[in-house]
Amino acid sequence: MWRDLAPIGRHRGSGGYRRYAWTAADAECRTWFREQAEARGLTHETDRNGNQWAWYGDPSAGDAVVTGSHLDSVPDGGAFDGPLGVVSSFAAFDELRRRGAEFVRPFAVTNFGDEEGARFGLACVGSRLAAGQLTPEAAWHLRDQDGVSLPEAMEAAGHDPGTIGPDPERLARVGAFVELHVEQGRALDIGGDPVGVASAIWPHGRWRFDFRGEANHAGTTRLADRRDPMLTYAETVLAARREAELAGGLATFGKVAVEPNGVNAIPSLVRGWLDSRAADQDTLDTLVGAVERAAREHAATAGIDLDVVRESFTPVVEFRHALRDEIRRLLDGRDPGDTGRAVPVLGTGAGHDAGILSASVPTAMLFVRNPTGVSHSPAEHADEDDCAAGVTALADVLEGLACS
Ligand SMILES: [Zn+2]
């Protein structure tokens, strides 16, 4: 499966993947998924929101056990974020057939569409639409950087955009959704475990900081006469790092826009975007509050005007404890990585379809060790042995949930 997927959407220059929603590379991934389904005698369907399902058993019987992830990528993404979950799902199904497991619940492998949001700027569009967390009206207004709207892109790829919207009947058939994913950090590597179970997805948000000063000539304006918002922005970036360390959370200014953006001009406006995440709401509130306070203090001393706007926010996602405990019980003693220890439970700062779906169906996640922790980069990696341990763990979980 890896051999088939490896060349699809791979950029020659960067070596990374550019599998954006509703592009030719995405279509190739979708064809691959359908062929994998058909090769195993699974019934393939694409739902109204462009998510793919490969069914074993009768979906209308309800209480299905579903596993899967996504095949799209961020710009120049790695090979594992998303595809590892889909490949492992098919491999785990194969393993269960080898074991002669008898399915007593319907089973499906899924590929959720447009998870990364690389093209239209919003993550998890397929699962959000299905779960009713994104209205069709809002989705219709999404545009890519070339001005192509989401419905236009869907139509061009042969999917009817007129059908998008909440899909409660389909989700009601799902009794449990388990997503396996490469870890996007180093917790498993530090702990020496190949596989872990997710406890929660951290609350996270994005804040826009607008620092306004006065544009002026870089060659003729005395330092003492300047109102330079770049300086206040710089102080704020350093404060964010300091406060994140103090709070034990994460704070990143990764995007900045400057006006007039001239080499020889003191800026009139510096707009920086803060991405912040923490294990719980209180820590996140404290952290972002401290960054804003520091920014306001520096702004006041320097005569800079500051506006802070929260642009998006996702509260903590606690995965269903009953399912998580069931999964731990199923993995207990099976020791997928031969470590002699119980499978660890860890939180994550990254969003996933499983997080979106958790509001509608019981969901859980398994993580596979990433030795460098690097993700959203061509350097993303997981060792073959760890991937195999992930498949075994997933098969154990699915067997426990779906088979007699
Ligand atoms: Zn992912």
pLDDT tens for residues 228-285?
Answer: 999 999 999 999 999 999 999 999 999 999 999 999 999 999 999 999 999 999 999 9
191 and 221, same domain (yes or no): no
287 and 383, same domain (yes or no): no
Overall average pLDDT of the 321-350 stretch? 82
Cα 402 to averaged position of ligand 1 atoms, centre (Å): 24
Q: What is the mean pLDDT of the chain?
A: 95
Cα 328 to averaged position of ligand 1 atoms, centre (Å): 22
Whether the per-residue pLDDT at 185 is higher than 80: the answer is: yes
Domain count, the chain: 2
Between the CA atoms of 134, 136, 140 and 144, what dihedral angle is there, to the nearest 10 degrees?
30
Cα 352 to averaged position of ligand 1 atoms, centre (Å): 6
Cα 69 to averaged position of ligand 1 atoms, centre (Å): 7
Whether the per-residue pLDDT at 341 is higher than 90: the answer is: no
What CA–CA distances, in Å, run from 48 to 52, 127, 351, 356? 10, 11, 23, 17
| Burial readout 241-280 (b: 16 or more C-beta within 10 A, e: otherwise) | eebbeebebbbebeeeebeeeeeebbbbbbbbebbbbbbe
Q: Compute the distance between CA of residue 16 and CA of residue 374 in angstroms, rounded to an integer.
A: 13
pTM, entire model: 0.86
Q: Which of 298, 313, 328 is the last residue of a domain?
A: 313
What CA–CA distances, in Å, run from 325 to 69, 182, 277, 348? 21, 21, 25, 18
pLDDT tens for residues 3-52?
Answer: 999 999 999 999 999 999 999 999 999 999 999 999 999 999 999 999 99
Whether the per-residue pLDDT at 339 is higher than 90: the answer is: no
Q: What is the pLDDT of residue 314?
A: 86
Tokens of 164: 């998008």
Q: Which of 253, 286, 313 is the last residue of a domain?
A: 313
Cα 343 to averaged position of ligand 1 atoms, centre (Å): 21
Do 94 and 32 meet the contact criterion of CB atoms below 8 Å apart? no
What are the strands, taking DSSP E only, across 99-140? 107-111
Cα 81 to averaged position of ligand 1 atoms, centre (Å): 4
Whether the per-residue pLDDT at 404 is higher than 90: the answer is: no
169 and 215, same domain (yes or no): no
215 and 336, same domain (yes or no): no
Q: What is the pLDDT of residue 121?
A: 86
106 and 249, same domain (yes or no): no
33 and 157, same domain (yes or no): yes
Residue type for position 100: G
**Between residues 166 and 321, the one the model is more confident about:** 166
337 and 193, same domain (yes or no): yes
Q: What is the pLDDT of residue 92?
A: 98
Do 75 and 33 meet the contact criterion of CB atoms below 8 Å apart? no
114 and 180, same domain (yes or no): yes
Q: Which of 280, 313, 346 is the last residue of a domain?
A: 313
Q: State the pairing for strand pair 195-201/363-368.
A: antiparallel
Count of helix runs (H) and strand runs (E) in the chain: 13, 15
138 and 246, same domain (yes or no): no
Tokens of 299: 């702004």
CATH code for position 121: 3.40.630.10
224 and 371, same domain (yes or no): no
CATH code for position 222: 3.30.70.360
pLDDT tens for residues 188-235?
Answer: 999 999 999 999 999 999 999 999 999 999 999 999 999 999 999 999
Q: What is the pLDDT of residue 80?
A: 97
Residue type for position 248: G
- Block residue for tokens 């594992």: 80
Q: What is the pLDDT of residue 351?
A: 87
Please give the DSSP secondary-structure letter assigned to residue 163. G
Domain assignment of residue 380, given as a range: 2-202+316-402
Cα 181 to averaged position of ligand 1 atoms, centre (Å): 7
Banded model confidence at residue 338, pLDDT cuts 50, 70, 90? low
Rg (CA), the chain: 23
186 and 210, same domain (yes or no): no
Whether the per-residue pLDDT at 334 is higher than 80: the answer is: no
Overall average pLDDT of the 360-373 stretch? 95
283 and 355, same domain (yes or no): no
Cα 257 to averaged position of ligand 1 atoms, centre (Å): 27
Cα 367 to averaged position of ligand 1 atoms, centre (Å): 11
